[in-house]
Amino acid sequence: MQKILNYVNGQWVEPQGVESVEVINPATGETRAHTPLSRTAEVEAAVQAAAAAFPAWRRTPVQERIQPLFRLRDLLKTNMAEISRAITDESGKTFEEAKAEMVRAIENVEVACGMPMLLKGEISEDIAPGIDEMMIRQPLGVVATIAPFNFPGMIPFWYLPYAVATGNTYIVKPSEKVPGAMQIIFRLIEQAGFPPGVLNMVNGAREAVDALLDHPTVRAITFVGSSNVAKYVYSRAAANGKRVQAQGGAKNPVIVMPDADMEMAVKIIADSAFGCAGQRCLAVSWAVTVGEARNEFCEGICEAAATRKVGYGMEEGVQMGAVISQQSKARIEQLITLGASEGASVPVDGRGTVIPGYERGSFVRPTILMDMKPESAVWRTEIFGPVLGLMHVNTIDEAIALANAQSYGNQASLFTSSGAAARKFRYEVEAGNIGINIGVAAPMAFYPFSGWKESFYGDMHAQGMDAVEFFTQKKVIVERWPKEWTRKF
């Protein structure tokens, strides 16, 4: 059984005398490890290490700070299979999905390797005769990320490479459910050559979270998780005067127009709704057909749902893996039942799924909730499982109105061949990530991961220049150097 350690000040540390939680392979039900639940003292040690490393790291020129990131990029590439396997065995997703996740992680490292360009400040000559003004971006100090279970290898990389490339020192708290990928990644970080204390990891749960939110030395917090925890993190960190961004849940709509390429729409929407067993904040969660799109799409998507191959993610040909836990499986099944009780039919029903050979696995097959009602509770509830609701309207205006009636705003997608429909949609729909003939509108690493409404609290987002802005503070300098002073020479 793997030992899960903290990584503090360049050392692997085993927290003593703390509770732990089991890490279970969702496909097999086997216990893989125990995550120690670090207490405030362990967080304190990590903060101290990060704070001690900060002054020298901040003084390291940016093009030297990116050198270990270039090495880390290479190491992540060469060790992708090992990390991905750990992701599959802890999160339940397929091996292909795990590798795709790591590709995204690496892209963020690559973007952060361009930090010398991104970190530039500004300068203006002669704001008054002989007086210049400049703005310089300086790092904050110690910053931290609280990561969720669904992308254990990727989400820390929305922040980590930007945080350290800009000169901060950093602490990550992985999800206690999926600590394994970051164990491997920190081994690579160790090889990449970061000075001790620049990158730190503390495993744990609620107490560790609160310790980070409350510690006066931690200058900024990034969080990804459910909306209610996101709001908690946002307001608690703010009450402590911190800079904070907190990304929450989603209930992402997709609109299918009658002029869509229906075959493509079915395939992509199925991938979006059932990929990663629906446990993605960008997963399409409900589809609304417009006018004549209805029949062909509904038939197609039911077929796609019914035939998706479900199983252990390491097995060849498996298209969808397990959900994260038995509790999650139970919750998803309850929500399907709720949907049915609220008037939806269930033409494809994943409740009670048992995969032969993996009877202890937490599997839920793809499920369709047909004719979900806009007044139903299930329509407003994030299921975080492989369940796609279907609705129908007559016009694109109705469809957009329905999308905008949701309190979440993480993603919205449209399938159409019409330039006008696409433009109207992206102009009017209230979500931060928009897909046109795209199922998972995940922004590239050089764009912000841009949630809206209850899917995001804060102003600057993950990835790209938003991350640079978030992890730096601006210093404005006004300088007067009278040329008269040179007369004395």
How far is CA 211 from its chain centroid? 22
74 binds a second copy (CB under 8 A): yes
**Cβ-based burial of 69 (10 A; exposed 0-12, middle 13-18, buried ≥19):** buried
d(CA 397, CA 429): 10
User: How near is the Cβ of 20 to a second copy at its closest, in Å?
Assistant: 33
225: tokens are 């998780």
206 binds a second copy (CB under 8 A): no
436 binds a second copy (CB under 8 A): yes
Residue 16 or 486 having the CB closest to a second copy: 486
132 binds a second copy (CB under 8 A): yes
Give the interface segment with a second copy, choosing from 22-30, 232-240, 325-333, 341-349 (CB under 8 A): 232-240
Among 252, 272, 433, 455, binds a second copy (CB under 8 A): 433
Residue carrying structure tokens 């003593």: 16
d(CA 102, CA 218): 28
216 binds a second copy (CB under 8 A): no
Among 34, 73, 85, 294, binds a second copy (CB under 8 A): 73
Among 39, 99, 231, 373, binds a second copy (CB under 8 A): 231
For residue 391, the one-letter residue type is: M
User: How near is the Cβ of 136 to a second copy at its closest, in Å?
Assistant: 5
d(CA 221, CA 247): 11
Among 1, 16, 17, 125, binds a second copy (CB under 8 A): 125
User: How near is the Cβ of 258 to a second copy at its closest, in Å?
Assistant: 6
User: How near is the Cβ of 72 to a second copy at its closest, in Å?
Assistant: 12
User: How near is the Cβ of 323 to a second copy at its closest, in Å?
Assistant: 26
Per-residue DSSP letter, 199: E
100 binds a second copy (CB under 8 A): no
Among 44, 110, 190, 210, binds a second copy (CB under 8 A): 110
Per-residue DSSP letter, 188: H
User: How near is the Cβ of 357 to a second copy at its closest, in Å?
Assistant: 36
163: tokens are 């945080």
486 binds a second copy (CB under 8 A): yes
Give me the phi and psi of 54, to 5 degrees please. -60, -50
User: How near is the Cβ of 480 to a second copy at its closest, in Å?
Assistant: 4
458-477 positions binding a second copy, by CB under 8 A: 458-461, 464-466, 469-470, 473-477
Among 105, 202, 396, 403, binds a second copy (CB under 8 A): 396
117 binds a second copy (CB under 8 A): yes
235 binds a second copy (CB under 8 A): yes
Q: Which residues of 328-362 are buried (b: 16+ CB within 10 A; e: fewer)?
A: bbebbbebbebbbeeebebbbbbbebebeebeebb
Here's the x/- map for a second copy, 135-174, by CB under 8 A: it reads as xx-x------------------------------------
Give the interface size with a second copy as a residue count (CB under 8 A): 111
81 binds a second copy (CB under 8 A): no
Q: Is 281 one of the annotated active-site residues of the chain?
A: yes
d(CA 216, CA 328): 35
5 binds a second copy (CB under 8 A): no
**Are 53 and 9 within 8 A, CB to CB?**
yes
Of 213, 231, 157, the closest CA to residue 408 belongs to 231
For residue 87, the one-letter residue type is: I
78 binds a second copy (CB under 8 A): no
Q: How far apart are the first and last CA of the chain?
A: 75
419 binds a second copy (CB under 8 A): yes
Q: Which of 276, 281, 298, 302 is catalytic?
A: 281
Here's the x/- map for a second copy, 238-267, by CB under 8 A: it reads as xx-x-xx------------xxx-x--x---
Within 10 angstroms of residue 436's Cβ, the number of other Cβ atoms is: 15
Among 30, 122, 299, 303, binds a second copy (CB under 8 A): 122
Per-residue DSSP letter, 311: S
Give the interface segment with a second copy, choosing from 27-35, 108-116, 155-163, 348-356 (CB under 8 A): 108-116
290-349 positions binding a second copy, by CB under 8 A: 290-291
Give the interface segment with a second copy, choosing from 54-62, 174-182, 323-331, 335-343 (CB under 8 A): 54-62
For residue 28, the one-letter residue type is: T
**Are 258 and 396 within 8 A, CB to CB?**
no
d(CA 178, CA 90): 5
Of 366, 410, 368, 409, the closest CA to residue 389 belongs to 368
113: tokens are 């390797």
Among 98, 163, 181, 445, binds a second copy (CB under 8 A): 445
The alpha carbon dihedral of 386, 391, 395, 397 has a sign of negative
* Three-state secondary structure call for residue 335: helix
274-293 positions binding a second copy, by CB under 8 A: 290-291
What residues act catalytically? 281
